[in-house]
Structures are given as structure tokens and as C-alpha cells.
Amino acid sequence: MESLTWGGIILQILIRFTPVWIALIALFAVSISYKRKLGLYGKLFDSTIGMIGFALVMFWVFTGFFGGALDWIVTHDPISVISGMKNKAPGTALPEGAAGYPHYLLGGDNLARDVFSRMVKGSWEVIKIAPFATLFAFMVGITLGLPAGYFGGRLDTLLSFAANLILAFPVILLFYLLVTPEIVATGIPTYMAAVLFIFPVIFLCVLFNSRFHTQPDKRNVYLGITLVVGLWFYLGIAWDADPLGVISVPSNILVVFVSVVFVNSPTVFRIVRGLALDIKTRDYVAAAQTRGEGSWYIMLWEILPNARGPLIVDFCLRIGYTTILLGTLGFFGLGLSPESPDWGSTINEGRKLLSVYLAPAVVPSVALLSLVLGLNLLADGLREESLKD
Amino acid sequence: MGMFFLRRLGVMLLTALCLTFIVFSLTNLYPNLEKLAKSQGNNRMTDAEVSSWLNRNGYLQPTVVKYGEWLGVLPGFTFTNDEGEISGRCIENGQPAEEAPRFCGVIQGDWGTSTRFRAEVSDVVSTRLSLTGKLMFFVMLVMVPCALIIGVLAGMKEGSKTDRTLSTASILTTATPEYVSGVLFIAVFASSAVGLKWFKGTAASAMDDANFANFTLPVLTIALYGMGYIARMTRASMTEVMTAQYIRTARLKGVSFKNIVMKHALRNALIAPFTVIMLQFPWLLNGVVIVETLFNYKGFGWALVEAAGNNDIELLLGCSVVAVFVVLITQLISDIGYVFLNPRIRIS
């Protein structure tokens, strides 16, 4: 086989991404034609910046899903080695007799693995962890930030002190302290997971109870579903003790997950607390207080929905920040296994030979950059559109 | 004002105590101590030997006691072996036990010994910190003026083409973490594959002799990440000022646009960015760790990584004390500066 030229490489990569293009076009066609009925999400399609950001983000979401979960886009196995392909330039043809796709589209790394496939697989590592970690951080931040802002007083002082304490830690020191194998052996991350992951369950229970406590039938149904599903997930994720044996998280991923949630939640707490302090002086809160509504009802059903604009924007930004944090962890070789194709680890491996062989480090760098840029642009678009009305 | 300052100082001390205690207890967990014993003694120690080594060096006392000793509020640990020789935390090699001070902790100015560098922690931290100080000085020199100029230019006329371009550029820089921009910079400007070779891809030589070729890339990499954020804050504050009543009055009076920006808007618009710049320090610390590792510049961040990677307890504690104080002092300065800069708060 001949090696490919740059034009050929780009063409082949575009062809490999066909499922992603189809999914993107379908998504945009449907969204744009119904955009007037879709609320804030629909309005996003009025802003060019927001659309570009959304397209970048969805590109990586689809790539992660199709490539990582379904194995569609990848050309080779991300950890298998083909001899003779070590540090080869992009577009190099496989040696005679090697099976599978005839080229290494973006070259080989210093262990002769395919850079392109590792990049595609790496996106799945991010898509799998970053949004959920951010969501958990938001649950923790909201559950603690609302009462801190609403009640104030001692509770606020205590929680704010704790939040500032975590924020004063240099993030990398915290990672080194939490993610080393010695600490994992003591079980501390598991206990932290046990504390942090109970918050979503508490959040949902309080959410439903405060709204429906006057209609016990409805409440019992909602609470029952939340408790059964929530505790099932909780046991599986935090304690790795799922009674049905379906949900289980590898311990190194759990540690990464916990430390990212732990680093993110104090900032969310501060934002939510600030918003709650501001919104609790509004008239509709006073009206609810006069009606005799409970404190949690006011917090979760009056204050929280009115704080959604800034929170949604921050959510997008924070997924980007979480992606950066995951990359940082990989860059320092913490947490994820060394074979793992995640972008941070790949950058770290590639940088050692960076002055001679560019592709192994530059490809995941550009991928990470485009995803975070997409999230930032999306947040910017959302902010602009949510301020318009 | 005095009361406010004192209260902030109290909270600061409490935070520093809590944080160092957390670092202390995490580094003193048994698996970590076991690793330390094996790296200090030898790798093939049996479990009994490990625990006797730990006992001899005072690592098996309760964490609170050890913390008190490190802090210097409890008398230093001593150990008498079978022959009656006394060794201890405060007793240096060859020194008779009677002459050694009873307390030797941070309060007495004794930061302990680094097991990784085999030197006094205070020496290690001060040399490394001065190297990082040099880096930070140039970062600030590049970052702050650029960020303010970009922010003011973008915020002068909201929605103009300049604004759009500069805002998107600042989003781009905030979306590029240091390990990505550093890699891209090295790839473009330093690698032999592209062939520009303007700068060097390592800053190891910059520790003694910083010049344009070896120091540009690390400085630029750190500066770029913070720049976008400060620029966006400056832009937001500038656009807010530009819609204020007094600016409109000045325009109606016929003051030229240049004078409005320079004389009326700028001073008020720069209050908010000041706070943001001070609060950027802790973030810069993060960037410093990454960039120093990437460019092999052996400063404070590099020492932090080395200490953490080798479970060098006392150096790690020294580093975290420095890091925590940097964070807390910049917060304090930003609070006080905000009060001084803002006439509305200052006068009331």
C-alpha cells in the first residue's frame, strides 16, 4: 500500500467520521425546524457562536458514543501494537501482511499504537466521566448552597469556611494526596464517595417531598422510585456492592470521579449560595413565605428554578473545566491506568518525544482544546440568549 | 477596618492550620509511612522491620501529637535505644541529647528535612520559590497589561467587530489549558519537525540564565491561560461603565471618544479586574506546576510534584503552607484593595 498524502489523510478521516456527520446533520435539522417550541435550547440556534459551540460539543459526544461505545469510527484497537509502526508519520501504510485498516491515519506513537484510534477512544473517556462528575458536583453544591444562602447564620459560616478551605488547596496537591495508590489502599476515596454520592439521593427526596407532601399518594410513589433507583445506583457506584451485580465502577475511575467532584463542588456551592442570597429578597419568595410554604419548598421550587439561567451557563463551563481537570490528572499520570487512551495521559506520553514526533501529543491536545472551546462557546451563546428575555 | 483586618487574619490562621493538618494526616497514613520507611531504609524490609524503623523515628505516635511536634507546640520526639543512646526529632546527628532544644517545629523556625532532596526544607523551598518568583514576575509583566488592553479595547464599543474578535480570542485562551498550549507551542516553535525553532522547548537553562530563547515559551504558556479570563472581566466591567450616566453626559457635552475612555471610563472600569487579578494567583500556581513539569524548570511547582510523588512529608507540608499563604494573602489583598479603590465603599 502507498502512504497517504495530507489531502488523502483528511479525506479518509472525514469518511471515518461519517456516522458522526449523519447524526450531527439530523440533530441540527430537527432542532432548527422545531426551534420555536424548544425554549432556551431552541433559542441557542439563533446565535452563531452558540451553534458553533454546540456543534463542537455534539461532535465529540457522538464521536465518543459511536467510537468508544460502539467501536464504529476507530480503525485499529487502541492498545494493540503493530510492529514497524513505531513513531511513523501520519498516513503511513501498514507493513505487508498486517490485517485490518491499511493505514495509520494520524501516525503511530512510540509504542506503535494508532494515534487516531486512541484519540477517538479518548473522547469516550471524557464523555463518560466529565458530564456526570459535573452533575454530581452540582447536586452537592445545590443541596448545601441553598440552605447556606437561605438560612444564613452559623450554618452559612461553617459551610463557607469548609468551601474556602477546599478552594485554598492547590488542586494538583489535592490530586496527589487523593489519587495515589497508597491512599486508595486506605479506602479514603471510597468513604468520600459514600458521602458525596448520597447527595443526589437526598436532593431528589427533598425535592419531591417538599412539593408533594400534601398529596401523600403521589409523594410515596415518587419517593419510592427515587429511593429504590437512587440507593441501587448508590450501592453500585460508591460501595461496589450492587445486589443485582449490574452496576460497578472500576476503582481507579471511581477515585478520579470522586476527586473531580470534590474539587468542583465548593465553587458550585459558592455560586448557588450567592444566587440564593440574591433571590431570597424577591417578592415571590416573600409571597411563598406568607402562604406558609416550607423552607425547602421555597428553596427548591421557588429559588432554584429562578436561578437556572446562570446555573445552566456555569454547568457548561464547568464540564469544560472538568475536562481540563481530567486531562491534568492524566498529564501527571494519576488515577487512570497507563494503557488508558484518555487525552491527558496520551499528551503526557507524547510530550517526551515532542521535538521530533509531533502527532502523538498534538492530536489529543487539539481534540481536548476543541471540546473545551466548544463548551465555552456554548456557554457564551446560552448566556447571551438567556439574557435576551 | 482594623477589626475587619484582624478577623480576616484569624480566619486565615485557622484555615492554614486546618489545611496543614489535613495534609499532615493524609501523608501520615500507614501505607504512606511504609513507603517512606522502605525508601529511607531499604526496599526489602520485612513488616516487623518497617514498624521498628517507624517506631524508632517517632512515626507511630498519634497523628495529633506528631502534628503538634511539627508545629512546635509539643516537645520533640525522643527515642532511647537498648544501649541508652538518645536520638530524636530535635537532636541532630552527633549532637549530645542535653544540648538539643526541646521544641523544634515551624514556630521555632525549623521546617524539618526533605527526604527527597536531603536538605533543609526551608532551603529547598526558598531556592525553588525564588526561581518560580522569577517566572511569575515575567508572567505578570506579560499577562496583566495585555489582558487589560484587550479587555478595554473589546469593552469600549460593545458588539463591534473588534469586540467580537477579541472576545472570541479570549474564550479561546481560557479554553486552552497549559498542558495543551505548552505542547502546541513546543510543537510549532521549538520542534525540529516544523523547523521554525525560534525558541527552546525546555527551560532548564533558564534557571541560571533566563533569555529570550529559553524563557518565552513557559512565560507565554502560563500568561495565556490567565489572560483570557482577566480580559473578559475587564471587558464586562468596561461595557458596564460605558453605559453609565456620566459617560453619556460627557458624550453629550462633546468630549472626544478618546478622552471619555482615557479620563472617565478607564479608572472606574479597572476596579473589578484588580480583584480578579489578585484572585488569579492561586490559579497561576496550578499553571506553574504544569508548566514547570512540562518545560523542566525546577521551581516551586516542580518541587511540589517531586515531594508529592516521593511522599516527602515535611517538604510537602512546607510547600502547602507556602501555597495556602499565597492563596489567603492574595484574597486579603484583593478585599482590602477593593475597599481602597472603590470610593463608594471607602467613603461610607
Give residue A269's pLDDT: 94
Q: Which residue of A has its CA nearest to B202?
A: A355
pLDDT surpasses 80 at A375? yes
Indicate the residue of B19, B171, B192 with minimum beta-carbon distance to A168: B19
- C-alpha A125/C-alpha B254 separation (Å) is 59
| Ramachandran class of B197: left when φ > 0, alpha when ψ lies in -120 to 50, beta otherwise | left
The pLDDT-based confidence of A389 (bands split at 50, 70, 90) is low
> Quick one: pLDDT at residue A209?
92
Whether B184 and A328 lie within 8 Å, measured CB to CB: no
CB proximity A332 to B under 8 Å: yes
The predicted pLDDT at position B12 comes to: 83
Beta bridge partners of B87: B79
**Structure confidence by residue, pLDDT tens digits, A169-196:** 888 888 888 887 778 888 888 899 999 9
Return the residue of B nearest to A184 by Cα. B31
Confidence band of A290 (pLDDT split at 50, 70, 90): very high
Contact B78, B97 (CB under 8 A): yes
The answer to whether B146 and B227 are in contact (CB under 8 A) is: yes
Contact at CB, B29 and A186, closer than 8 angstroms: yes
Position A14: which residue type? L
Q: How many residues make up chain A in this entry?
A: 389
Please name the residue that has the C-alpha cell 514576575.
B137
Is residue A118 left, alpha or beta, with left meaning phi > 0 and alpha meaning psi from -120 to 50?
A: alpha
**Cβ-defined contact of B323 to A170 (cutoff 8 Å):** yes
Q: How would residue A108 be classed by pLDDT, with cut points 50, 70 and 90?
A: confident
Q: What pLDDT is attached to residue B345?
A: 63
Q: Is B13 exposed, middle or buried (0-12, 13-18, 19+ CB in 10 A)?
A: exposed
> Which residues are bridge partners to A93 per DSSP?
A103
Residues in chain B with CB shorter than 8 Å from the CB of A332 are: 293, 305
Minimal C-alpha gap between A168 and chain B (Å)? 6
Q: Lowest-pLDDT range, A46-55, A334-343, A354-363? A: A334-343
Chain B residue with Cα closest to A380: B171
Residue B123, C-beta contacts closer than 8 angstroms, at least 6 positions apart: none
**Separation between Cα atoms, residue A367 and residue A387, nearest integer Å:** 30
Number of helices and strands in chain B (H, E): 15, 4
The residue whose grid cell reads 481540563 is: A324
Cα–Cα distances (Å) from B89 to B21, B86, B190, in that order, read 19, 10, 48
Tens-digit pLDDT profile for residues A33-44 = 998 888 888 888
Q: Give domain limits for chain B.
A: 2-119, 121-341
Report DSSP letters for B191-214, one per residue.
-TTT----S-S--GGGGTS--HHH
CA distance linking residue B309 with residue B324, whole number of Å: 19
Determine the residue type at A189: P
**Cβ within 8 Å, pair A358-B171:** no
Residue B79's DSSP bridge partners are B87
- H/E segment holding residue B120: strand B119-120
Torsion angle, CA of A365/A371/A374/A375, rounded to 10 degrees?
-120
**Cα separation of A138 and A145, whole Å?**
10
- CA distance, residue A176 to nearest chain B CA (Å): 6
Selected residue of A177, A255, A334, A342 to mutate for chain B interface (largest B Cβ count, 10 A): A177
Asked if A195 and A201 count as a contact pair (C-beta separation under 8 A), the reply is: no
Distance between CA atoms of residues B274 and B268, nearest Å:
11
Query: What letter represents residue A254's amino acid?
Result: L
Predicted pLDDT at B348: 53
Q: What is the pLDDT of residues A221-249, one digit of tens each?
A: 999 999 999 999 888 888 877 777 777 78
Taking Cα atoms as reference points, which of B145, B293, B149, B148 lies closest to residue B218? Answer: B293
Residues of B in contact with A167 (CB under 8 A): 282, 327
Give backbone dihedrals phi and psi of B113, rounded to 5 degrees, phi first.
-120, 140
**Which pLDDT score, from 0 to 100, does residue B201 have?**
77
For residues A64-69, give the mean pLDDT. Answer: 89
3-state helix, strand, coil in chain A (%, to 5): 75, 0, 25
Show the CA angle centred on residue B176, arms to residues B137 and B209, nearest 5°.
30
Query: Per-domain residue ranges for chain A?
Result: 6-122+357-386, 130-318
Evaluate the CA torsion angle A7, A8, A11, A16 in order and state its sign: negative
Mean pLDDT value of segment A299-319:
92
**Interface membership of A107 toward B (CB under 8 Å):** no
**pLDDT class of A367 with cuts at 50, 70, 90:** very high
Query: Exposed/middle/buried for B112, CB within 10 Å: 0-12, 13-18, 19+?
Result: buried
Chain A 342-371, residues with CB within 8 Å of chain B CB atoms:
344, 347-348, 350-351, 354-358, 361-362, 365-366, 368-369
Report yes or no: B27 and B316 within 8 Å, Cβ to Cβ.
Answer: yes
Q: What phi-psi label fits residue B112: left (phi over 0), alpha (psi between -120 and 50 degrees) or beta?
A: left
Identify the residue with better confidence: A181 or A313: A313
Closest approach of B243 to chain A, Cα-based (Å):
17
Dihedral sign of CA atoms B156, B162, B164, B169 in order: negative
Instruction: Provide the 10 A C-beta neighbour count for residue A290.
Output: 8
Q: Across the interface, do B309 and A176 touch by the CB < 8 Å criterion? A: yes
- Chain centroid to Cα A31, Å, comes to 23
C-alpha cell of residue A14: 472525514
CA distance A372 to B177: 9
Are A164 and B311 an interchain contact pair (Cβ–Cβ within 8 Å)? no
A208 to chain B, minimum CA–CA distance in Å? 37
What's the gap in Å between the CA of A366 and the closest CA on chain B?
Answer: 8
Closest chain A CA to residue B35: A182
Would you say the C-alpha torsion B148, A369, A85, A6 has a positive or negative sign? negative
Grid cell digits, residue B248:
453619556
Given a cut of 70, the residues of chain B with pLDDT beneath it are 1, 93-94, 97, 343-348
Judge: A355–B311 Cβ closer than 8 Å, yes or no.
no
**Given an 8 Å threshold on Cβ–Cβ distance, is B304 in contact with A172?**
yes
How far is A228 from chain B, CA to nearest CA, in Å?
35
In chain B, which residues have their Cβ closer than 8 Å to the Cβ of A177?
Answer: 23, 26-27, 308
Please write down the long-range contacts of A239-246, taking CB distance under 8 Å and 24 or more positions apart.
A239/A190, A239/A194
Sign of CA dihedral A176, A180, A184, A190: positive
Q: Which of B18, B26, B192, B292 to mutate to test the interface with A (most CBs of A within 10 A)?
A: B26
Distance (Å) from the C-alpha of residue B277 to the closest C-alpha of chain A? 16
From the list A267, A261, A265, the residue with the least C-alpha distance to A130 is A261
pTM score, whole prediction: 0.91
Per-residue burial over B178-214, b if 16 or more Cβ lie within 10 Å, else e, is bbbbbbbbbbbbbbeeeeeeebbbbbeebbeebeeeb
The ipTM value here is 0.89
Beta strand A92-93 pairing with A103-104: antiparallel
pLDDT higher than threshold 90 for residue A300: yes
CA gap A302, A284 in Å, rounded: 8
Whether residues A170 and B187 touch (CB distance < 8 A) is answered with: no
Specify whether the backbone of B270 is left (phi greater than 0), alpha (psi in -120 to 50) or beta: alpha
The beta-strand segments (E) located in chain A are 92-93, 103-104
Kindly write down the DSSP assignment for every residue of A15-63, as one continuous string: HHTHHHHHHHHHHHHHHHHTGGGSHHHHHGGG-HHHHHHHHHHHHHHHH
CATH topology of domain B121-341: MetI-like fold (1.10.3720)
Residue A140 pLDDT level (bands cut at 50, 70, 90): very high
Q: Give the per-residue pLDDT at A225.
A: 93
Q: Is A173 left (phi over 0), alpha (psi -120 to 50) or beta?
A: alpha
What phi and psi values does residue A104 have, to the nearest 5 degrees? -95, 100
d(Cα B299, Cα B293) in Å, to the nearest integer? 9
Residue pairs between chains A and B whose CB atoms are closer than 8 Å: 141
The pLDDT, as a whole number, for residue B94 is 66
Q: What is the DSSP string of B210-237?
A: --HHHHHHHHHHHHHHHHHHHHHHHHHH
